[in-house]
Amino acid sequence: MISVSGVSMRFGNKVLFDDVTTMFQPGRRYGLTGPNGAGKSTFMKLLTGEQPPQRGTVTRPARLGVLRQDQYAFDEFRVIDTVIMGNAPLWAALQERDALYAKDALTDADGMRLGELEGVIGEHDGYSAESDAAVLLAGLDIPDDVHERKMSELQGGQKVRVLLAQALFGRPEALLLDEPTNHLDLDSIHWLVDFLQRYDGTLVVISHDRHFLNAVCTHTADIDYQTIITYTGGYDEMVLAKTQIRARLESQNEQREKKIAQLQDFIQRFSAGTRSSQVQSRRKEVERLQTTDLARSNIQRPYIRFQMARPSGRLAMECAGVSKAHEGLQVVDGFEAVVNRGEKIVLVGRNGVGKTTLIKALLADAPGMTPSPGDIDSGSVRWGHEVSIGYFAQDHTGAIQHGLTAVEWLHQFDPDASKQDIHGLLGQMLFSGEEGFKPTSALSGGETARLLFCRIMLQKPNVLILDEPTNHLDLESINALSVALQKYEGTVFLVTHDEDLMDAVATRVWKVAHGHVHDFKGTHEEFEAATSATSK
C-alpha cells in the first residue's frame, strides 16, 4: 500500500495540489490522469521518493518497481543485468558475492558473509534471476542475442523496454509506471496489459493511451481542482463520473442562485416597511445559501480542425515496386498500392519493421517536400493531381527553427495571414496570450507537437501523413485529434499505436512485417477480427 497524507506542491504562484490525502491499495490498479502541466509526473516523483513533498508525508512499501526515465543511466551494464537491478537487494547481494569469490583467499568472516548472501539470493529467487529476466525481455520483444550486449548499444525504443522489464522484475509490492507504452508496439502493449491485469500488488500508472487505461485500471486518480479525486473504473468511467458530478454541482448552484434572487427581491421590496423580522430572516437565508464558487478545472481542450484549401484529384497516390533496404535488411520489398481521395490508412506492425521507412519512401519525391532520393531504392511513386501534403514526422529534431518566437515561426508559412489569425490559431492549440511569444528553443515536447499541428492547419493540405503524432499529447489533445481526423475530408496516412485512434479513424489498414505490406481494405476493428479468425 502507498499512503499520502497532507501533501502539497506548488511552483511559484501555481498550485499543483494542496493538502492531498489518499491511499493506493494493494490489488488495485490506478491510472493517474490529468492534462499536461497538471502535476502527474511531479506526483509520481513524490510516490517514488525522487522528490520530497513541500508539505505532508508519503509512505511506500520496501519493494518498489519504478520505470526509470533516464535512458542513459545504465549504458555501461549488460541488458540482462540492467533488468536484474530492478531488485536492488538481490543485485547488491550478487555483486558482493562476486567480489568475495574474486578474492585470492577467503577468511572465516568472508565465508560467514557468503552464507548470509546466499540466503538473501535464495530468498529473492536469485538463482533463476537471469532466466526470469529473459522471460520479461522476450515478452517485450527484446531478442535473446541482445541480452548480453551493453545498454549503450541499444536504440532508444529498446532501452525503454529494458527499463520497463527492470521495473517489473522481482515481483515488487508496488509498481509506479510513467508512460510505459511510449515506444512500444501493439504486440508489446498487449503483453504489458496482460501482465498488469495479473499483477496483484499496487499499480500506479501514467498514460496518454485511453485504450490502455481502460484495459488495465480498476481505479482512476485524477489530478484536477488542485487535488486528487479517486474514481472507480478506467478512464472512460472517470470522465463520465466527473462530468456527472460537475453537472450536479452546477445545477445545485443554479437552483441556489434562483432562490437567492427571490429572497433578495423580497428584501429590497420590504426592507423599509413593517416586515423587518421577515426581511432579517431572509437575509440570514441568503447568507446560508450563498453559492460556493466551483473550483476551476485545469483541463484545457485544444481545438484541432484540418481543412483543405482545395481537394486533390480522385487518385491521391499510386506506387509500384517500392523497395528500400536498411543495413542489408530488406525493409520494404516491391510494395504496390493505389490510394483514392478520402481514404484513411493506418499503418500497423511491430517496432522496427519499417512503417516509418515506408512513409519516407513514399515521400522521397513528393510534391512540396524536400527531395530525399536516398529514402527509396527502387520503384515509382506518383502523387495525384493538386496533391498538397501536411507531414508530421516521428522525429521532431530540427523541425522547428530556433531563434524565433512561436508566432514568428508559424507566420513564415503564410506571410499573408494577419497576426490576429496567427494568434487565434495558436490560441486554439492552447498557446494563449503571451505564450505565443515563447522562444521556439524553450518549447516542451507537447508544445512542439501542438505547434506542428498549427502549421498543418495553416497550410490546409489535402493529404495528411502523421507518423506517431500522439507521443507528446495528453488525452484531451489525442481526443481532439481523433475528432479532427474523423471529420477531415482529405486523405490520411497514420502511424500510431493508439488503438482507440486506429478504431476511430481507419478505413484501410497496411500491416508491415518482414519486408512485406499486407493491404486490408476495411476498418481496424474489421482487420483485428479477420486477423483473429485467421490465427485460430
* 244 lies in some domain: no
Q: Is residue 167 part of a domain?
A: yes
SS3 sequence, 280-303?
Answer: HHHHHHHHHHCCCCCCCCCCCCCC
* Same-domain status, 390 and 494: yes
Say if strands 463-467 and 491-495 run parallel, antiparallel, or are unpaired.
parallel
Report if residue 50 sits inside a domain: yes
Whole-number Å distance between alpha carbons of 31 and 207 = 7
* The three three-digit cell numbers of residue 368, written as one number: 512540396
| Together in a domain, 406 and 519 | yes
Chain segment 360-383, per-residue pLDDT in tens:
999 999 999 999 999 999 999 999
15 domain-assigned: yes
Which residue shows C-alpha cell 497524507? 5
User: Band of the pLDDT at 295, cuts 50, 70, 90?
Assistant: low
For residue 319, pLDDT over 90 is answered with yes
pLDDT at 348 over 90: yes
Same domain, residue pair 12 and 149: yes
Closest listed residue to residue 159, CA positions, set 167, 514, 513? 167
The answer to whether residue 77 sits within a structural domain is yes
> Where a domain ends, among 195, 223, 238?
238
Do residues 217 and 76 share a domain? yes
d(CA 178, CA 167): 11
Residues in the chain: 536
Q: Are residues 335 and 218 in the same domain?
A: no
Q: Which of 216, 238, 260 is the last residue of a domain?
A: 238
Residue 320: what pLDDT?
A: 95
Shared domain check, 473 and 342:
yes
| Cα(227)–Cα(234) distance, integer angstroms | 19
Rounded distance between C-alpha atoms, residue 355 and residue 362, angstroms = 11
Same-domain check for residues 233 and 319: no
- Tens of pLDDT along 157-183? 788 889 989 998 978 899 999 888 877
Dump pLDDT digits (tens) for 110-149.
899 999 999 999 988 899 999 999 999 998 888 899 999 9
The mean per-residue pLDDT over the stretch 237-255 comes to: 75
Q: What is the pLDDT of residue 458?
A: 94
Instruction: Using DSSP, state whether 469 is helix, strand or coil.
Output: coil
Q: Which of 499, 442, 529, 527 is nearest to 190 (CA)?
A: 499
- One domain for residues 409 and 513: yes
**Are 352 and 489 in the same domain?**
yes
Predicted confidence (pLDDT) per residue in 20-68, tens digit: 999 999 999 999 998 777 788 889 999 999 889 999 999 999 888 888 7
Return the C-alpha cell found at 324: 528500400
Q: Is residue 162 domain-resident?
A: yes
Same domain, 57 and 181: yes
**Is the confidence at residue 275, as pLDDT, over 80?**
no
The CATH number that applies at residue 62 is 3.40.50.300
Provide the pLDDT for residue 536: 60
Asked whether residue 54 is domain-assigned, the answer is yes
Ranges 40-54, 223-237, 243-257: which has the least confidence: 243-257
Residue 68 domain flag: yes
For 34, other C-beta atoms within 10 Å of its C-beta total 23
What pLDDT is attached to residue 259?
77
The whole-model pTM stands at: 0.72
Domain housing 430: 315-535
* pLDDT average, residue stretch 487-506: 94
Q: How many domains does the chain have?
A: 2
The residue from 238, 267, 298 where one domain ends is 238
- Looking at the chain, the whole-number percentage of residues with pLDDT higher than 90 is 51
CA 248, 253, 257: angle at the middle one, nearest 5?
150
Q: Is the pLDDT of residue 327 over 90?
A: no
Same domain as 232, residue 328: no
Shared-domain flag, residues 72 and 189: yes
> For residue 200, is it left (φ>0), alpha (ψ between -120 and 50) or beta?
alpha
